[in-house]
Amino acid sequence: VSCFNRHRAIKLEGGGTFVPDILCVPNNGKYEEYYEYERGFHTQTDFNAKCEKMIKVTRYLNFIVPNTDVLTKLLRPKLDTWIEKRGSAH
């Protein structure tokens, strides 16, 4: 598990990078898991950009939140809005 990942930025197709807040590599080293620590302070636009970067490198969007209030009142509505904006075509 690593939380100092600036030096391990993942280059994205079309430019840009994704820097996960937390990177986990199981002992077998066959895959990596990415986690974002979300406190709910991002604007919807910034949150959407974060999700779009994440989805380019993993099919699972893993978030860690400090408490249930952040999850239900801040993260979930932003996630729902991103999903709606993205549509079912993706």
Is residue 12 over pLDDT 80?
yes
Q: Which residue has the higher pLDDT, 24 or 7?
A: 24
Whether the Cβ atoms of residue 58 and residue 24 lie closer than 8 Å to each other: no
Instruction: Evaluate if residue 19 carries a pLDDT over 80.
Output: yes
- Asked if 75 and 63 count as a contact pair (C-beta separation under 8 A), the reply is yes
Angle at 14 between CA 10 and CA 20, to 5 degrees: 25
Q: Tell me the average pLDDT across 30-47.
A: 92
Tokens 């999700």 sit at which residue?
Answer: 51
Question: What's the mean pLDDT in 70-89?
Answer: 91
The per-residue pLDDT for 40 is 87
**pLDDT tens column, 39-67:** 989 999 999 999 999 999 999 999 999 99
